[in-house]
Amino acid sequence: MFLKASLFPTRCSARYLVSSPLKALALQEEVLQSRTYHQSMPDQRQKASKQPQYIALVALLFDPAGPEDENRIKAIQELREGHDKAANRWAPHVTIVPPFDVRYEEGPVEDELPIPEQTAGTDSSGVRSTSSTYTSLDLRASSPETEPYRLPEDIRAAYPPGLKAALGTFEEHIEKAVSSIPPSQVLLDEVGFFPLRAYHTIHIRPSLNDPAEPLHRLWSAVSSSLDSSAIQMKQPAKRARGPQSFKPHLTLGQSATGQEKGSIMNRAKAIIETQPLSCKVERFQLLFKNKSQSGPYLVWRDFSLKKAEAVNS
C-alpha cells in the first residue's frame, strides 16, 4: 500500500513517495529537522552580526588663538545651535579626515560587550570637565605644557581587541607622519556654502588669500597615515581622495531655502567682518564611535604638533 505525498505537511516531489509507514515516519522526522534548521537561520545570522562596527575620523576641534576669537566662537556657537543639525554632537571643528568604517580583525563574539560610558566633557560654558573621557562636544584649550590626552587604558579595554589594535596602529602612523609639522595658526575669513541635493551647508573657511597651508600639510600627513595603516574599509569609488578634495571649513548650519541660507550667511559675515576668526593648529584629535549608536564621538587620542626646537632636542 502506497502513501500519497499529500499526507505530509510540506509540498513534496515524486521522489518523496514511500512504500512503508516506517519510512514515512523517517521522512517526516527529516522534514521537521530541516524546517527547524532553516527557522534557526535568522538567529544564527543575528548572532554573527553582533560583531560591532565602528567609524572613525580625524578632526581639529576649534582652539581660539586669542580672547577676541573666544568671544566670536561663542557667537558662532549660538548660530550653530539654531541651524546646525550636528550642534548637539559636535563642538566647532575642521574635519581633516571624514568618517570612515574601521577595518579590524574580528575576535570571538561575546553576548554582552561592555559599552564604556560616553559623557560630554564640557558644560555650557565650554569648561573642561573632570570626566576621564572627552567627546566631540568638548571645547578644550590646548596648552604646550600639558600632555596630549589619551583615552585611558581601562576604558580602551572595554572595546574589541582588534579595534584597539587597528586604532593603535593608526595613531602610531599619524604620530610619525606629523612629527616634522610645526604648530601654526589659520584664518577663517570667508563665508561660503556647499550645494547639496536637499539643502545647502553654510560654513566659514580660509579665503583664497590665505590658502590654509598648515591645514593642507596636516591633511596630507594624516591621509598618508590612513593609507599606510590599512585601517580604512574600502570606500565608494565616488569619494574623491586627491588634494583638491580637501576643502577645510567650519560648518555653521544647513538651509532648505534660499532665504534661510541668506540669513545664516549674513549673520556669519557680521561675526567675522571686522576681524577673521583665528584658530590654533597645534592639536588635533582621532575620534571614533560605534556605528549603531547616535550621539557624539569619543576622543581616542590627542596629537600635539611640536615646535622645531622641541623636535630636534
Instruction: Answer positive or negative: Cα dihedral of 228, 230, 232, 236.
Output: positive
Give the residue with greater pLDDT, 46 vs 95.
95
Coil/strand/helix, residue 183: coil
Spatial distance between the Cα atoms of 146 and 3, rounded to a whole number of angstroms: 85
* Per-residue model confidence as pLDDT tens digits over 30-62: 545 544 544 444 444 444 457 789 999 999 988
Q: What is the pLDDT of residue 33?
A: 55
* Per-residue model confidence as pLDDT tens digits over 251-282: 999 999 999 999 999 999 999 988 899 999 99
> Considering the chain, what percentage of its residues have pLDDT values greater than 70?
67
Helix (H) or strand (E) segment spanning residue 39: helix 21-48
Phi then psi dihedrals of residue 194, to 5 deg = -110, 120
Are 116 and 296 contacting, i.e. CB atoms less than 8 angstroms apart? Answer: no
Indicate the pTM of the whole model: 0.75
Q: Which region among 12-21, 77-86, 254-263 has the lowest average model confidence (pLDDT)?
A: 12-21
In DSSP terms, 256 is beta-bridged to none
Helices (H) and strands (E) in the chain, counts: 7, 9
Spatial distance between the Cα atoms of 86 and 101, rounded to a whole number of angstroms: 19
C-alpha 246: how far from chain center: 17
* Per-residue model confidence as pLDDT tens digits over 122-137: 433 333 434 478 899 8
Mean pLDDT of 198-221: 88
Residue 174, C-beta contacts closer than 8 angstroms, at least 6 positions apart:
58, 221, 222, 225, 286, 303
* Per-residue model confidence as pLDDT tens digits over 111-169: 444 444 444 444 333 334 344 788 998 866 555 556 788 999 999 999 999 999 999 99
Are 225 and 51 contacting, i.e. CB atoms less than 8 angstroms apart? Answer: no
Mean pLDDT of 94-103: 94
Domains and CATH numbers, the chain: 54-312 (3.90.1140.10)
